[in-house]
Each structure stands twice: as structure tokens, then as C-alpha cells.
Structure 1
Amino acid sequence: MKIAILTLLIILMPVQYVLADVELKDKKVTLEKLEIEQYSLGLTDGLFIDEEKLGFLIEILEDRIYKAPVNAAISEDGEILQEKPGITLDHDRFHVLFREAFYDDSIKKLKVPKKAVYPRVDRALIREIRTKELGSYATYFKETNLERSHNITLAAEAINNYVVFPGEVFSFNEVVGERTKDRGYKRAPVIVKGELAEDIGGGICQVSSTLFNAVDLKGIQIVERYEHSRSVPYVPPGRDATVSWWGPDFVFKNMYNQPVLLRAQSKNGKMTVRIFSSEDVEYFSGE
């Protein structure tokens, strides 16, 4: 492991300095005294720290340690799933400990400090904002088109349980992410310049269009929406929202005084999006 990390760092870094004792299983990272001394500024005989090299080290440590938090969510059977905190590098504590270890010869090893990263959405919030349904919309598709059905399900799962806070903007492309083969998307029919073709992720426009019709509410401001170049069969004319990773996006802003919860499901040829919030939800005009 140590040899592999050293090889990687030599390739990536303009100078040679290493990380040791990296245990990815429990995210433990330890720096030995010899490694710490490599971060001295050249020609200063160890009097000063090379801050640029140290900054690069911090980026690598962050990448090794970071574990994303998991928001609370609602399962298919309606159970609220517990949120889970993540882990990140404690930057402030690390700067203090690193300088102590750099200048104090009695310190032979530095255990890189970590701290918890708490999710934005916990069970209490989910419990509160699942109470009032603000809107919903359903569209239908042929399950026999397995590739397209698969893509619809993947995109629906990506937006399901997503919480949009007051004043926050939701971007379909950012939330769903790039539609690639590596991420599980398949080739299926799409509309390109008014013509039917096949491409990776075909079918997800039905998800974005269903979402658009569900969030077309007084308290939701549509920021960005584009129609297909020809009519689509799953929504009435003018009620679609085409999306493409390198092109159109569907974006809206939450203008309510409370967070809104998106609940999306693709099952048995039916694509459904429901919008929820708390009982105290009110439209905020900004005036």
C-alpha cells in the first residue's frame, strides 16, 4: 500500500513527499516525522514550511479521509430512514498539529485529525415536510421498452427524496448527474433536432417533464425550461421539459418559506412525482 501511494504521489506532484499508513477501511491516516520534514521550504534549513506543498498535501488528505454524509430518506414502504454523518479533515486542527510536529523534534508521529460532517436532512425534518402534499403529476410509458424504462427508473431514483430548501435552486442536470454507460444508463430513443434517434440515457426527459408538471405551483419559480423540438406522447403539448447533459436543463427555485420534498417513483409503466412540505408552508413573494 505504502509503495503504491508513494508511486502515485511521485507521478502527480512536482516534488517528492509522501503519505504513510493509509488505511482506507477506517480512514486512518498517519504522518511520520520524516514525511513531515519534507514540507520545509527549500534552502531554509527547515526554518519555514512550504505552504504551497502543504496545501497540496491537505487536498490529498481530504480526498483520502472524506466520506459523504447520508441524508434521511423515506423508503418505499414509507419508513423514515436514519441519516448518517460523514467524515472530513479537520483543517484548523490539522494546521495546528502539523506545525507543532514540524517544529518540535520530540513529536515523531502525527495522527491526522478528522471531524464529522452532518447531513442537511435529518429524520425530524423529513417527518415535518412529508405532511402536506402540494402537487403531483403522473405520466405513463411502455414497460416493454426495457432500456428506456431502465433509464426512467434511474433518473427517478436520483431525484427521489431530494429536499429543496427555501430560496434554493434545483437543477435537474446537477442532481441527476451525467447520463453515462458507467453510471448504468442505456441507449434508448431520444429526440434530436426534431428527429428520433438513440442515445445513452434516452427516456429521462419523461422524468424531467413529469417533475415540471408536478412543481408547476404558485410557490415554485421556473428558472429554466425548454420544450422538445417536436411533441412528445407522455404530456400535453407545451408541457414538457427537455434535458441534456451538454445542453438544456430544467431548473426551478423554491419560493416557499419551508423546504419541499420530492417523491418520485417509476413502477409498472407509471412515472409519478409528488411534492410535499410542512403544514406551515406559505408562498413567499420576496416583497
Structure 2
Amino acid sequence: MSIRTWAISFILVGSLIGLAGCAEKTNGKDVELENKVIELEKKLEEQKAAEKAERKAAEEAEAKRIAEEEAKKPKVVNVIDPNTKNIVRSLVPVDLGFGTDNEKYKQELKQWAKELARGTETTPGYDSKMILDKIDANGQVIKGKPRVVLEEAELVTKVIEASAKGGDVILPIYITESGYNTEDAAHLSEVVVATYTTKFNPSVTGRNKNIELSAIAIDNVIVGTGDIFSFNHTVGPSDEAHGYQPAQEIVNKQLVMGIGGGICQTSSTLFNAVDKLAVEYVEWHHHSLTVGYVPVGRDATVSYGGKDFQFKNTAGVPLLVKAIYNPNGTLTVEIRTSAAYQALLQKR
């Protein structure tokens, strides 16, 4: 209550006391005293109401001023990592063309989203291929990694929607685990549902070592329902650091010596095995020359960092890849599954 109100209240109370004193002396004036009291109380309430209205008007004016100041400030969009809760980037949309050149703004967001998802030469992106689980020699599952995808188009849309008012945008990251049940792993080798064998010259040691190493890399890999198998991602670099040796390989329609020559026989043998099932090819390339270990058009060339052989398991059940290297000159790839799933398997 203000000093002014206190003063008025004091005067009114004093007046009421005075009137009350008079009323004790002059009994005949009760009605007049009551009217005076009512009038004074009314004035006090009016004064309080006036001060309340004055305070409200001042508060509204201040709120309006603050709102006007906020409206003048450029809006900020904070893009947040859902895992770390850290701000990945703070955007000031108007500085990037929002409201003046929306198409340019959208294209810039698209480029940024692409780099964020896929990475740059110096910075890794959020996207990562699935590393498939594998069964070791003791029958234990060696866990890989799930597939991670940052949806670029969704990110761009969300940022544009938030650009007018500002605010936070959570990165739309989607994680996909391998499509099989852990308890099924022990049974996936029960039934051979597809197989293919190729032959090689046992005396060509360098090339055969490369076939052996790449066969070991894909052996006992679990390809769950909906999983994508990447030969390059599964085998890894076929270089000297990983034990690969010089051997002939096909480059631009010519036979040349290169580290890792021969691994294409492994990828081609795998192709001919899985091709008997209802899988979907994500990436598949032929050699520039014919090869002697598979029929024409039945090869699958690969090169780490370049051409890959990838297929998606759309056969309806989880699969197990078995690669059997025989130093006497044969490579066999078997595709297996659990006996419980055999009736559900879809073939070509």
C-alpha cells in the first residue's frame, strides 16, 4: 500500500473514531454516523481500485515494451543432439536469408544437413552403416553396431518451421538394430538353405591368401531380417596392414598386380549363394573383364573405398553366412538359418 493510501486510511480511521465519539454523546444521530462511515469506506475502496488500475496499466505497458523489444531481436534456432543434449549449432535464420530469400535459406540448410549426416573430409557425420553381429568360434555372439541415420529432409523441415519464432530443434536421428532375436543365434546354423562353390588354383599363394582372409571376415556373420550386408564394410581394408598380399586383379579391363587381388572371388561366390534367396540388391557391379570362376554376368566386383557388393535381407528370416575355404582349391559359401524358420524363408 502506498504512503498516500496509508495517509488517507489514517484520516478516514480518525474521522470514524471522531464520529463514533460524537455518537456516544449524541445518541440521536446514529443514522447520520452510519452514512458517514459508509461514505468514507466507499472513498477508501475507490482509492484502492484506482491505485490497482494504475499498477495494472503500468505492468501492461512494461510487458508491451518488453514484447516489442523481444520482437526486434533476431530469432535463434538451437539444433540439439538428442543423446548429449548439447547444442550442435545455433542458427540466426534472418542472417541466412529467412524472410528475404527463403529458397536460398532452404538450400543452405540442405547442404549443412547433408554434411552433418554424412560428414566432411575433416569431420565424421552422424550416419553410420550397421556392423553386423558375428558368432565366434565358441558360439558366442560378437556384437556389432546398429545402423544410425540422420534424416536430412526432416531436419531441414523442422528448422524452417522453427525459424519464424525461434526455439529448439532436436536432431531426427534414427537407430536400427539388427533384425534377429539374440536367443536365435545358437540355431541359425541348423539348416543350409543356399550354397555355391567356386574353384581356384592352389599354387597361387598370394591370391589364395587374400581369398582366405576375406572368407574368414564374412564367415559366421548374422544378417537379420531387413539388415543390409556390405562386403566392404564387413571385410574392411584389403591392404598390407591387414595381411593382404599382392596378386592379379582387374583394373580398367586390364590384369594388373595389386594388394588384395582375389577378394572378388569371395564376393562373387557370396553373390551366387544369396542370389538363390529373395534378397534385394543395394549395390552390385560387374568386372570390366570376364572372370573364370563364375559364369558371365554372375560376378560381383568390389574395391574398398569404391565399388561394393551390398544386399538387403528381404527373405523373411534371419540368415547366417558360412564361408568355407579349402586350401586345396575350393571356396564354398553357405547361407543357413534356423530349422524353425525354414518354412518361412522366401526364395527366388
Q: Indicate the residue corresponding to 1:31 in structure 2.
A: 89
Q: Indicate the residue corresponding to 1:58 in structure 2.
A: 113
Q: How does 1:267-278 map onto structure 2 within 5 Å?
A: 271-278=331-338
Aligned to 2:175, which of 92, 117, 133? Answer: 117
Aligned-partner Cα distance in 1 for 2:242–2:85: 25
Mapped contact 2:315–2:346 kept (Cα < 8 A): yes
Q: Indicate the residue corresponding to 2:191 in structure 1.
A: 132
- How far did residue 214 of structure 1 move? 5.4
1:202 paired with 2:264, answer no
Aligned-partner Cα distance in 2 for 1:81–1:230: 34
- CA 1:116 to 1:130, structure 2 compared with 1: closer, same or farther past 3 Å? farther
Mapped contact 2:195–2:332 kept (Cα < 8 A): yes
What secondary structure is seen at the aligned counterpart in 2 of 1:78? coil
Amino acid at match of 1:96: K
Deviations 1:186-223 (A, max 9, x none): 4303589xx97634432225424654675686x579x9
- How far did residue 276 of structure 1 move? 0.4
Mapped contact 1:71–1:84 kept (Cα < 8 A): yes
Amino acid at match of 1:95: T
1:260 paired with 2:319, answer yes
What secondary structure is seen at the aligned counterpart in 1 of 2:112? helix
1:187 paired with 2:246, answer yes
Mapped contact 1:30–1:112 kept (Cα < 8 A): no
TM-score by length of 2: 0.48
**Alignment gaps of 5+ in structure 1:** 1-19
What secondary structure is seen at the aligned counterpart in 2 of 1:52? helix
Deviations 1:121-168 (A, max 9, x none): 3444645543323355666765982464035413552575153859x9
- CA 1:68 to 1:143, structure 2 compared with 1: closer, same or farther past 3 Å? same
Aligned to 1:89, which of 150, 164, 169? Answer: 150
Mapped contact 2:188–2:336 kept (Cα < 8 A): yes
Deviations 1:84-142 (A, max 9, x none): 43443355466335532x3236x5xx465243411343444645543323355666765
Mapped contact 1:85–1:116 kept (Cα < 8 A): no
Structure with more relative contact order (C-alpha pairs < 8 Å, separation 6 or more) = 1
Mapped contact 1:62–1:88 kept (Cα < 8 A): yes
Aligned to 1:71, which of 126, 132, 135? Answer: 132
Give the count of matched residue pairs.
Answer: 251
Amino acid at match of 2:111: F
Q: Indicate the residue corresponding to 1:9 in structure 2.
A: none
Mapped contact 1:148–1:189 kept (Cα < 8 A): no
Which has more helix, going by share of residues? 2
Amino acid at match of 1:85: P
- How far did residue 30 of structure 1 move? 2.1
1:153 paired with 2:213, answer yes
**In angstroms, what is the RMSD of aligned CA positions?**
5.6
- How far did residue 266 of structure 1 move? 4.6
- CA 1:85 to 1:204, structure 2 compared with 1: closer, same or farther past 3 Å? closer
Q: Indicate the residue corresponding to 1:10 in structure 2.
A: none
Amino acid at match of 2:141: I
Mapped contact 2:264–2:302 kept (Cα < 8 A): no
Aligned-partner Cα distance in 1 for 2:299–2:103: 56
Mapped contact 1:82–1:122 kept (Cα < 8 A): no
**Alignment gaps of 5+ in structure 2:** 1-77, 119-124
Identity, in percent, stands at 22
Which has more strand, going by share of residues? 1
Mapped contact 1:136–1:273 kept (Cα < 8 A): yes
Aligned-partner Cα distance in 2 for 1:98–1:73: 42
Aligned-partner Cα distance in 2 for 1:263–1:131: 12
| Structure with bigger gyration radius | 2
Q: Indicate the residue corresponding to 1:163 in structure 2.
A: 223
